Amino acid sequence: MGLKCNGDYGVKRVLKDRYPRAFKQFTTLKDVREGLKLERNQVTAALDGNVLLMQVPRSAACFGAYIGVVTNAIVSALGTAKLVFVVFDEPENLTMAKREEQMRRDTNRKKAVPLFSNDLTPYPTDDDYGVDELLRAEDCHSIVGCRPARNRFFDEVGVQVMARLRRTIDDWKHNGHEAIVIFDGLDSRGASRPLGAERTPELFGSHPEYVELFRHAAVGEGDLKLAVVQDLVRRHCAEEVRPTVVADTKIHLTITIDTDSICIELLERVRRLQDVPALDTSIHGVLCFRETNTKREMDDDPRATYCVLDYATLEQLLQQDMWGIGAQITLHQQRCAITLLCAGWILAGCDYTEVKGLNAAMVLDVLPGVARMDPSLVNAAAGAWKGDPAAVKKLARSLGRLVRICAASYGAQAGARKATIAKLESTDLLEVPLLRGAWTIAYWCGKEFANVRDFGFCLAV
């Protein structure tokens, strides 16, 4: 569900250049905590499990080596935070729009996969295998690359890693250091689940009593689940008497590589400010983006660092630029402005849609003028969280206006490319990207519309 990078014009790059106060670079997660002058018991963290398991280096090919890398990564997080969540997609609960995007990816991937005779396939290619097959597997990465086989593999990784972590957790407890791990979105039966049995993703972890505390409704995409987990932590921290597990919590780290989390956390921030301000002040939250030489490798590269974003500070800086310092604006207006900004970034390119020629910098450039001079366009963004499909379709038309404003602004610049201007000005003829963009911003605001065909998605399922 990630936003497209687009080089120097991607969302994260543009924001780092324009708002350096909101960003800071650290070498390790421990450095992040120490830089914030906090102890382990004051920190909770949520890891993107899909990223974690997909980024295991190719050199860790056998199952034992694969388990070792994942275990070490979680132990590293536990050295930073007392409570660590590891969250996963739940394919059983994914939106149909995501399934369409996955089918496109799988089709492209199959073109590069060598063909084998059915009786000579060197790794499982479906859900019908057990633990023994994994122990004999010579290349676990081929299993991970095969979507029908991936879920059972991830489940068994979770089971095996938890078994190893329990030993570490017991050792740390003996030395007076509590550590808690919760897996969210795996089947606790692992590869021992009977062949043909329905997969049931759930929460399980080192402390069953805390698992119950953080149980929530099913969430299909891990990117959105990261925000749900943080919301639960915030809600417990806002209680008059905090549960013991978060009694001392001051900050929550969201650890990922996907830049769509920037939008999701900005949207969550303005939602909280408008609806439940106490949740925003109960703890602080930051995004930790692991940056390596290559996006697909999660090894011990000494050049790998964490880019930490304080999204509360970023939201404040964005509001100041859009409205001016000291402007008297309502929380509703602030929420609408951030929602419109994120919708524009979605149109600049994400897994679900793209308006050719548009980039994140263009959207950011025009928002101050739009916020001050075109209140009707800003207010239209409220349709994203109303839960009304008609309002979302109306928002799509408003997004067309935003793109045309971007085209006019870009066209007035020296050196503007005529081809780019033409692409942007033809937006009226490209209704589908706008509908998809409106659907996506509503989805990120917590309003999912199941009939995605109404918003330009063409499913072959």
Buried b (16+ CB within 10 A) or exposed e, 319-349: beebbeeeeeeeeebbbbbbbbbbbbbbbbb
Separation in Å, CA 3 to CA 45, 126, 131, 347, 350: 23, 30, 36, 9, 4
| Predicted local confidence at residue 296, as pLDDT | 43
Q: How many CB atoms lie within 10 A of CB 453?
A: 11
Distance (Å, whole) CA 55 – CA 359: 27
Does residue 183 fall inside a structural domain?
Answer: yes
Q: Is residue 81 within 8 Å of 252, Cβ to Cβ?
A: no
pLDDT at res. 325: 85
Domain total in the chain? 1
Residue with tokens 């911003």, as numbered in its chain:
441
438: in domain: no
Residue 314 lies in a domain: no
Q: How far is CA 64 from CA 43, 68, 70, 159, 431, in A?
A: 30, 6, 10, 13, 50
Q: Which residues pair with 305 in a beta bridge?
A: 291
Is 317 part of any domain? Answer: no
* C-alpha to C-alpha distance for 206 and 252, rounded to whole angstroms: 19
The helix (run of H) or strand (run of E) holding residue 336 is helix 331-347
Residue 251 CA neighbour count, 13 Å, CB half: 23
Profile the chain (461 residues) by mean pLDDT over runs of 10 residues.
73 96 94 94 97 93 96 95 97 81 64 51 86 93 93 97 96 94 97 95 95 94 95 97 96 95 97 95 95 53 79 97 90 97 96 92 95 95 96 95 93 88 76 94 94 80 42
What local confidence, expressed as pLDDT, does residue 198 receive? 95
**∠ Cα 59 84 22 (to 5°):** 90
* Cα 363–Cα 47–Cα 217 angle in degrees, nearest 5: 85
Give the separation between CA 352 and CA 395, rounded to whole angstroms. Answer: 17
Q: What are phi and psi of 30, to 5 degrees?
A: -60, -40
> Would 461 be classed as within a structural domain?
no
Q: Flag whether 31 is in a domain.
A: no
Token output for 236: 């417990």
Is 450 contained in some domain?
no
Three-class secondary structure of residue 290 per DSSP: strand
Structure tokens, 417: 């490319």
**CB-based contact 199:227 (threshold 8 Å):** no
- Exposed (0-12), middle (13-18) or buried (19+): which is 418, by Cβ within 10 Å? exposed
- Residue of 225, 199, 211 whose CA lies nearest to 46: 225
Q: What is the dihedral sign for C-alpha 290, 10, 251, 25?
A: positive
Is 128 inside a domain boundary?
yes
Range of the domain at 55: 39-249
For every residue of 176-242, DSSP letters joined together read T---EEEEEEE-TTGGGSPTTPPP--EEEES-HHHHHHT-----S-HHHHHHHHHHHHHHHHTSSS-
The pLDDT, as a whole number, for residue 424 is 86
Tokens 């969250």, located at residue:
87
Look at residue 297 in the predicted model and tell me its pLDDT: 44
Q: What are the phi and psi torsion angles at 44 (to 5°)?
A: -120, 160
CA nearest 421: which of 400, 431, 403, 407? 407
Residue 358's SS3 state is coil
DSSP string of 19-60, one letter each residue:
-GGGEEEESSHHHHHHHTT--GGGEEEEEEHHHHHHTS-TT-
The pLDDT score that the predictor gives to residue 159 is 97
